[in-house]
Amino acid sequence: MSTDQEPDRQAVPTPARPQKPGFLAGVREFGIVIIAALVLSALVRAFLVQAFYVPSESMQNTLLPNDRIVASKVTTHFGGVSRGEVVVFRDPGGWLQAPAPGPDGFRGLVHNALMFIGLLPSDSGNDLVKRVIGVAGDHIVCCDAQQRIVLNGVPLDESYIVQPTNQVTFDITVPADSVFVMGDNRGNSRDSRFHLEENSGGVPVDNVVGRAFVVVWPLKRFTTLPIPDIFGNPALQKSSAPAAQ
């Protein structure tokens, strides 16, 4: 007599349910993202662009005090400095008064850290913003009978300036590797005209941080900062010499 036997049944393992990431894993991932973002921000600030406060009235009405501007470092690094650009530069020495002390203690550390990584505009007290009037080799005279700057024999009709330029008269050639700068508010700008005894008023190109190309704050003043058309006159190129390499 035979009996039917059921085949052996093998136990089938139950699929493991995916485990949700733990709290610590989420915190770690969030921290990695934040650190990566801060490093990227610091690199952008160091090599590409940087935000600055406008410290004074010297560039009115193009720029107003406490405007936030962004300067392109990469443009200056690869393309040099051109006539008509608004540039941010480090004090060559003696142009600025001693800056007011900033926040100290923990608040100061946080402020400086945020400024370093680019989350706050630079307000180090050692930066100036002016317009480049002449580059190395340019012959600049102040002024003609109509109180205009004469650049390489060409009078400049500067529609953007406030007040005439004749606070200081001069006749100079911009030294090698330097730029001659003025504020647009000519009656309220301690610029190259007031430092003629040192390097003929020229700012070393190495001191130029970058070209200011946009106002980003306040939002109602958002605008770009193009080079005025007068600096595109081909006649300006005839008497200028390139900077020494």
In the chain, where the domains are located = 49-103+124-237
In the structure encoding, which two tokens stand for residue 242, read together?
């390139």
Please identify every residue annotated as catalytic.
58, 130
| pLDDT reported for residue 49 | 77
pLDDT single digits (tens) 75-118: 888 889 999 999 999 999 889 875 545 555 656 565 455 555 44
Contact 58, 185 (CB under 8 A): yes
In the structure encoding, which two tokens stand for residue 25, read together?
């894993």
Half-sphere exposure of 176 (CA within 13 A, CB side): 3
> What average pLDDT does range 180-201 have in this prediction?
96
pLDDT single digits (tens) 145-163: 999 999 999 999 999 999 8
Alpha helix segments (H runs only) across 104-177: 105-117
- CATH 3.40.50.150 describes domain 49-103+124-237: no
pLDDT single digits (tens) 108-131: 565 455 555 444 445 556 889 999
| pLDDT reported for residue 232 | 94
In the structure encoding, which two tokens stand for residue 108, read together?
């100061």
DSSP label at residue 221: G
Contact 213, 166 (CB under 8 A): no
Rounded Cα–Cα distance for residues 20 and 103 (Å):
44
Query: How distant, in Å, are the alpha carbons of 121, 156, 227 from that of 84?
Result: 24, 11, 5
Rounded Cα–Cα distance for residues 26 and 29 (Å):
5
